[in-house]
Structure 1
Amino acid sequence: MELDFLESAPVRLTFGAALVAPPDAVYRELAEHTEDWPDWFSGLVVASRTPEGRQVRLSGGGQFWETVLAAHPSVRYAYRTDHTNAPGVSALVEDWHLTPAAPGTRVRWTIATDGAALYRALVRAARPALARTFRTSMRALDRRLVLPKR
């Protein structure tokens, strides 16, 4: 499974947000500061680097082992799930696109996935909750990046 899955996935959810932080700062948080994701991404408990990419654990116990597919500084960060304990998942790619936009960055997060019929239905039904998680997380990330460090 590669980046072309983003176009062919049976379930594709896309969310967007405007941040004040510049694209280079947002990209560094996404791609280089893996261990800090739980500080700003709602529902994420642990994120750690692996030789291929990263491993993450969600508050509900879900775990994902991911391989980075694209890492283009200040522009794009994408990864696929190679293994998960989440039932019904057969394919999952997440793609983060960053676009300069006054005064900072336009962030677009795409989730492309496939799996058992029940899993696909649950992901579609979870769209509103995922949208809230994304908005909350982007606000937290922006605060983290634009407020003075103490």
Structure 2
Amino acid sequence: MTTEFLQSAPLRIVVTQRLDASREALFRALTEDASTWPQWWREITRASYTGPGPYSVGAGRTVALRGGVRFVESVLVWDEPERFVYRIEETNVPGAHAWMEEWLLTPSQGPGTTVRFTMAIEGHAALELPLQAVRPMVMRSIRKAMHRLDAQARS
């Protein structure tokens, strides 16, 4: 699966937000230490890279969410300071066939950074239909996480 899946997936959740932090600070906050993710994305209970650093393309990560959802991920794109893409290699989410997420950081007009987060999923209808139904809640969670990420990147 290539990054083209981000545009072609049957289920895509895309959130774009302007943040005050620089692209460099946001990219560092996203990539340097996965264990900090629960500090700004409250639905995540644990995250870590697997293996020794330094990390880049090919790095593995494990992520646990509230409710017992688990992911094993691999980093596909690490283009500092603008693009971070990872693919879910394993999950305990029933019916998930393919899952990829992208953080795209572009300069805003004026100060700050425009951040676009894309979640791309292909799965059984028993997964895709409920996700469609809760899309507004997922998008709200992502926006809140982005604002906390922004505050962390500026501190």
Shorter-normalised TM-score: what interval? over 0.9
- Residue correspondences, number: 147
TM-score (norm 1): 0.94
**Structure 1 CA distance for aligned equivalents of residues 107 and 115 of structure 2:** 9
The residue that corresponds to 1:124 in the other structure is 132
2:144 to 136, 146, 150: 136
**Structure 2 CA distance for aligned equivalents of residues 27 and 145 of structure 1:** 9
1:96 to 103, 109, 113: 103
Tell me the percent identity: 40
Unpaired runs of 5+ in structure 1? none
TM-score (norm 2): 0.91
Q: CA deviation at 1:44?
A: 0.3
Mapped contact 2:13–2:139 kept (Cα < 8 A): no
**Structure 1 CA distance for aligned equivalents of residues 4 and 143 of structure 2:** 26
Displacement over 6 Å in runs of 4+: none
Q: CA deviation at 1:75?
A: 0.4
Q: CA RMSD in A?
A: 1.1
Mapped contact 1:2–1:80 kept (Cα < 8 A): no
Q: CA deviation at 1:127?
A: 1.0
Mapping 1:4-43, distance limit 5 Å? 4-43=4-43
